[in-house]
Amino acid sequence: MSSSVFTKTSAVPKASAKAALPAAMFCRNFGIKSTLHAQKLMAKLARQDKLQMQTPQQDTLLDDMPRELKLPMTPLPIRADTMEQLWTTKNLESLDIGIKKHRAPENIADKIAYYAVKSARKPTDIFFRNKYLHRSVMLEVVAAVPGMVGALIRHVKSLQGMRHDGGWIGHLLHEAENERMHLMTWMEVGKPVLWERALIATVQTGFFAVFSLLYMVSPRTAHRVVGYLEEEAVTSYTHFIKEIDAGRIENVKAPDIAIAYWNLDENATLRDVVLAVRADEALHRDTNHHFSDRIRAGRESLFEDLEYSEDQPRIKH
């Protein structure tokens, strides 16, 4: 071995000192004169090796998949009645969802929540006008945030406090999934153009940050905000139905994803989908106002009211 190899090793930075000896041996074995060059080469080879180890062979992916991942995790509709029967236009129209139901603000926090939502509606009206499909995409991108944020924060609180959550987390996650299914449905029907997508994504990012902060400071107000947001959603979808009935929006066939998710008739149309989505929003409205009321009443845990019920699970969580 030439002495020049070891002379150059002394110039190696401290961080690379650990690699000096194997690099020197590597040089000797492969007749490389520069240790630094050898270290770089060794690092490159190591990276390639690591990459090969981390990249599974595609043809074995299915064989290696755990059995549990092969079980279907099908999104379930949020309304119990939607799961119980096939939904036709007639029974969708006969659902009593309280189209004009409104929770009057009772205190300052409620008023702030109410007027915040009302003031956010105005720019949306100006921007989207009668483009109800694109407006719905915007609405659902935002509406899918609160359930997930609420579930995350309550999950962390449950862990940190080492106590039961009170049975909310599952419901909040289900709400978030339901809103995302609304979004996936609307994306099947009509796709916003690039600049609309950019605006929607920007609004959602801002909303995510503000809502997360609000939920940490005042979950009661946060749920009230969602309650009012859902009241607006019910109104928006009612206008959507009127536009379809007036012939200004074509009543196309419902996408397959919607027929499967809401258990709709195979000949269902866009109008049926809007009726089903509006029914979901009405449930979100009632649920979130109820959550806010429970916090205010100091009776958060659902199990305080449900533990003696025959048909409710007894496992507190």
Closest by Cα among 218, 206, 74, 73 to 150: 218
Closest by Cα among 156, 150, 153, 157 to 173: 150
Min CB(285)–Fe ion separation in Å: 7
| C-alpha span between 225 and 229 (Å, rounded) | 6
Give contact residues for Fe ion (rule: CB under 5 A).
Answer: 140, 143, 179, 182, 230, 281, 284
| C-alpha span between 27 and 32 (Å, rounded) | 4
The answer to whether the CB of 101 falls within 8 A of the CB of 282 is yes
Report helix, strand or coil for 30: helix
Tokens describing residue 77 = 């509709």
Phi-psi region of 129 (alpha: psi -120 to 50; beta: other; left: phi over 0): left
| C-alpha span between 95 and 82 (Å, rounded) | 10
Of 244 and 283, the one with the shorter C-beta distance to Fe ion is 283
Min CB(203)–Fe ion separation in Å: 15
Min CB(132)–Fe ion separation in Å: 13
Of 24 and 258, the one with the shorter C-beta distance to Fe ion is 258
Closest by Cα among 94, 95, 133 to 236: 133
Of 24 and 276, the one with the shorter C-beta distance to Fe ion is 276
Of 143 and 169, the one with the shorter C-beta distance to Fe ion is 143
The answer to whether the CB of 39 falls within 8 A of the CB of 8 is no
Of 135 and 284, the one with the shorter C-beta distance to Fe ion is 284
Burial of 153 (0-12, 13-18, 19+ CB in 10 A): middle
Min CB(289)–Fe ion separation in Å: 12
Of 261 and 303, the one with the shorter C-beta distance to Fe ion is 261
Min CB(53)–Fe ion separation in Å: 43
Of 165 and 179, the one with the shorter C-beta distance to Fe ion is 179
Min CB(70)–Fe ion separation in Å: 30
Closest by Cα among 138, 137, 253 to 187: 137
Min CB(196)–Fe ion separation in Å: 18
